[in-house]
Structure 1
Amino acid sequence: MLDFDTCNTARLRRDPDYDGRFFTAVRTTGIYCRPVCPVKQPLTRNVSFFPTAAAAERAGYRPCLRCRPETAPFCPAWNGTRTTVERALRMIEDGALDHATVETLAHRLGIGARHLSRLFLRHLGASPLQAARTLRIGRAKRLIDQTDLPMAEIALQAGFGSIRSFNAAFRTLYGREPSALRRGPGRQGAALCASAHA
């Protein structure tokens, strides 16, 4: 993880070279963003930085509706981790934890579940289940933004076990139902986020 001053300088400049290398969390709003987010900059004393979207969510932050950091949680910041973690992430992205346990995933990787969880926390700042949840919500958010599919179909395609768990995940992360986000970037969702950062 980059040091605080490097991250802060990059986010104040909205430096695209750092996009994906860290995420900015704002304590006063409970929202996290990419360093290139166009909304009004929060005060330095109110920000902290995380290496991944999953780590920011694990700490209780919600993704910005303007820059949508959760839709690309496994970007350059994830490179350089151990081969085991990279393999696990590819398997999670393919749905390995949508209907199975961390123990099953660890067994497929040839290691113990506790060891896998320790590797995730060390390299990603989040557990395998949190990484899976972030990916699943990201898949669902893309389908909400880019298709007219019914919410039940989106839940199924994104890997949720039920419409109830789909709705609960969105209420927890965004504070609203999934259908309330079906506006696309740049419309009401962007306005909500911009006002939250003010």
Structure 2
Amino acid sequence: METALYLPIKNFLEAAGYAVKGEIGSCDLVGLSSDEPPVVVICELKLAFNLELVLQAVDRATASDEVWIAARVSAKGKGRESDRRFRDLCRRLGFGMLAVSDSGTVDIVVSPVAPMPRKNTGRRSRLVEEHRRRKGDPTRGGSTRSPIMTAYRQQALACAVAIQSGQQRPKDIRVSAPQAEKILRHNVYGWFERVDRGIYALTELGAAALKRWPPADGV
């Protein structure tokens, strides 16, 4: 699973001074520096180096300052990490390559040759905002089979936690969920129902969500 590569790469980038979180805005991994504005680093994960991994990096490049691609070292040492043409392609695109061994060791195959140009400032801003709003790092990068624990879902769960003990008004739960009014009104997940003007209760779907994502896991 690609998620097995996440922690080694996360540790590698955190050692370089970045705050790292997984599955931000469709990116496997996003790291932010402590600068203001922050340096945005994106890393995409695959079990092996291939063209699809490079294409993903190309797509992410406009929203970042630095792009890495990471994959597991091939068992016989004949993977793309050993292909000079593949390494040269990454150099020409400005992408870094990271190889992860079975023991979790991370080696730099190719270093980014230059910061990536910023072209899509809106997308970049959304990545930074989601990274900063998300509490903790609840989703490992490379996850594809389960819903992503976004900052919005975390706040919706905070609303559900507050309402499970009794009906609530949005203003009563703004401390734990600043967007409570919007979340309850739009009710994207079907977790809430309005029982009176400005008063909300929890639905069966909401109760099921709290069982699936206990507060300690999601919020």
Q: How high is the TM-score relative to the length of structure 2?
A: 0.28
Higher helix share: 1
Structure with the greater alpha carbon radius of gyration: 2
More relative contact order, 1 or 2 (CA 8 Å, 6+ apart): 1
Q: How high is the TM-score relative to the length of structure 1?
A: 0.30
